[in-house]
Amino acid sequence: MERVNSNFPAFHPDPNSVEAYVMGIHLDDQSRSELQAHFRLCESCRTLCEETTSFVHAIREALISQALTAGL
């Protein structure tokens, strides 16, 4: 995570960390807790997380639909 400025006590997560959080991979319990705490405090990062979650869900649904259509 990168430090934003000295007036804001939280660090912003990098996009890879947000993606890992959304997909539930590559994060230890402490990192997951830190991200959750940051999302509670930071509206812009919370929005990024929500948008990423929506995108990932849409991709998963499209892949499932495609697999069902193909008979897989």
Going residue by residue through the chain, which has 72 residues, state the pLDDT in tens, using 9 for 90 and above: 544 444 444 578 988 999 999 998 888 999 999 999 999 999 999 999 999 999 999 999 999 999 989 876
Whether 3 is covered by a domain: the verdict is no
Whether 2 is covered by a domain: the verdict is no
Q: Which domain holds residue 19?
A: 13-70
The answer, as to whether pTM is greater than 0.75, is no
Whether 22 is covered by a domain: the verdict is yes
Whether 66 is covered by a domain: the verdict is yes
Whether 6 is covered by a domain: the verdict is no
pLDDT value for 71: 78
12 bridge partner residues:
2
d(CA 66, CA 41): 38
Rounded to a whole number of angstroms, the distance between the first and last alpha carbons of the chain is 40
Whether 57 is covered by a domain: the verdict is yes
Whether 26 is covered by a domain: the verdict is yes
d(CA 61, CA 55): 10
User: How many structural domains is the chain composed of?
Assistant: 1
